[in-house]
């Protein structure tokens, strides 16, 4: 087997294991801590919301203020340490009380603030652009797979254990991440910089791109089940089922992008944005739960495509020296969306209901799309792959460079 193929396979396996460990556990913590706080510790709904926001707040703090300002050697050490911190957090959540849960949640948020942007960066370092973008898509596949299997695992184990026990039963998944974290590769460069990164076209275009989808998804991730119950009068278990179809289509979309990396991403991106807009328009007109399931399956396409296309824009538009900072700012922006949008959406719902609240989300989708294509539509570096162009200091793909 050629060294290049060995390199890609090695990176792919370690990246998939690490991504699954990180995202499956992250999703479990985000969804289970509110239940633990409400049911076990007796928190009010207000404080349940605050404890959830604490995790996102500390993740944002690290991704925006800390990660872009540290060198690759320290970042790698913190990345490994962050995996140990998550392992400690799971044990601590099992023994927690109403006071300790705040500190544990802050620690978990800090750890994920280190882990998330650096995993993205590690998926963008191959010199060969086609292989690099295939690895980015594979990273996205790992995210989708974790969002399918993680909730499935938790749903199963909750049939015979308590919410506290769930944290302990996810420890084997985290241990796999701890082991593999020592194998994850970081860029070999002494000149990392965050100077002018916020002015980089690749980063700015990626922020506009992810806005076209993550604004509606931030609302859906919190209110989808409540909407299904209110609109179609189904049970809580049935109301949760659309996530399965949604993430399954997202997973298949990302598999396709991994097998066939996109050279030109403008038209596929436009198509994905149009699907998002169409789905938001349809919310007030849904009459059956089946039609809702079909709509969620349709939304799985842009969910599966827009995130990898956003990260590809960063990979195409930045040098290796800029990429860690760019990915950090990208993840920080996503954390802002997931803190702000649910709060705003929940406030609007009180006045106009779920259906029309989803409908008005089309406004920021359209505005972001118009700005994206008007400002960066002619930028061939971002939208068209140039396989002959090699970003500075990229990994060559040889085993010795890993």
Q: How many angstroms separate the CA atoms of 240 and 198, rounded?
A: 38
Dihedrals phi, psi of 265, to nearest 5 degrees? -110, 0
| Tens digit of each residue's pLDDT (9 = 90 or more) over 90-142 | 999 999 999 999 999 999 999 999 998 888 888 776 777 788 888 888 888 88
Number of Cβ atoms within 10 Å of the Cβ of 315: 28
| Tens digit of each residue's pLDDT (9 = 90 or more) over 309-345 | 999 999 888 887 888 889 889 999 998 998 888 888 8
Q: How many angstroms separate the CA atoms of 324 and 72, rounded?
A: 9
pLDDT at 5: 54
Query: Which residues have CB under 8 Å from 169's CB, separation 6+?
Result: 157, 161
| Tens digit of each residue's pLDDT (9 = 90 or more) over 349-361 | 889 988 999 999 9
**Per-position DSSP letters for 268-285, written without gaps between them:** HHHHHHHHHHHHHHHGGG
pLDDT at 191: 64
Given a contact cutoff of 8 angstroms between Cβ atoms, the answer to whether 194 and 287 are in contact is no
Positions of the chain with pLDDT under 70: 1-6, 45, 125, 187-193, 195, 236-237, 385-402
* Rg from Cα positions in the chain: 20
Treating both helix axes as pointing N-terminal to C-terminal, what angle do 362-376 and 201-232 enclose, rounded to 10 degrees?
A: 160
Dihedrals phi, psi of 99, to nearest 5 degrees? -95, -50
pLDDT at 386: 57
Q: Name the token pair of 1.
A: 């087997």
Q: Name the token pair of 230.
A: 């209110």
Write the CA distances from 47 to 58, 263, 344, integer angstroms.
17, 47, 17
3-state secondary structure of 395: strand
pLDDT at 111: 96
């Amino acid at each position: 087997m050629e060294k290049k193929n060995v390199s890609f396979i090695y990176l792919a396996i370690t990246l998939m294991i690490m991504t699954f460990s990180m995202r499956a556990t992250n999703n479990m913590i985000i969804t289970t801590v509110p239940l633990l706080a409400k049911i076990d510790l007796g928190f009010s709904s207000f404080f349940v919301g605050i404890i959830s926001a604490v995790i996102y707040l500390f993740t944002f703090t690290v991704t925006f203020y800390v990660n872009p300002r540290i060198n690759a050697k320290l970042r790698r050490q913190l990345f490994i340490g962050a995996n140990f911190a998550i392992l400690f957090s799971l044990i601590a959540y099992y023994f927690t009380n109403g006071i300790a849960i705040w500190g544990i949640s802050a620690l978990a948020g800090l750890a994920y603030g280190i882990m998330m942007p650096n995993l993205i960066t590690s998926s963008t370092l191959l010199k060969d652009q086609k292989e690099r973008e295939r690895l980015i898509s594979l990273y996205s596949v790992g995210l989708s797979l974790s969002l399918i299997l993680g909730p499935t695992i938790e749903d199963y184990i909750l049939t015979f254990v308590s919410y506290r026990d769930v944290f302990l039963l996810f420890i084997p998944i985290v241990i796999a991440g701890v082991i593999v974290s020592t194998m994850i590769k970081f860029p070999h460069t002494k000149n990392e910089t965050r100077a002018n990164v916020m002015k980089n076209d690749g980063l700015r275009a990626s922020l506009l791109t992810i806005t076209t989808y993550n604004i509606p998804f931030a609302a859906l991730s919190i209110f989808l089940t409540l909407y299904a119950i209110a609109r179609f009068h189904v049970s809580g278990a049935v109301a949760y089922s659309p996530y399965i179809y949604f993430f399954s289509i997202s997973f298949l979309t990302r598999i396709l992008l991994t097998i066939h990396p996109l050279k030109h991403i403008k038209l596929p991106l436009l198509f994905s944005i149009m699907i998002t807009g169409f789905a938001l328009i349809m919310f007030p007109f849904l009459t059956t739960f089946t039609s809702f399931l079909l709509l969620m399956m349709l939304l799985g396409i842009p969910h599966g495509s827009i995130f990898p296309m956003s990260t590809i824009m960063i990979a195409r538009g930045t040098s290796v020296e800029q990429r860690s900072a760019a990915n950090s700012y990208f993840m920080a922006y996503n954390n802002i969306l997931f803190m702000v949008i649910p709060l705003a959406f929940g406030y609007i719902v009180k006045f106009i209901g779920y259906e029309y609240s989803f409908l008005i989300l089309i406004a920021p989708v359209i505005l972001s799309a118009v700005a994206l294509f008007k400002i960066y539509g002619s930028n061939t570096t971002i939208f068209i792959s140039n396989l002959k162009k090699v970003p500075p200091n990229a990994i060559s793909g040889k085993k010795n460079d890993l």
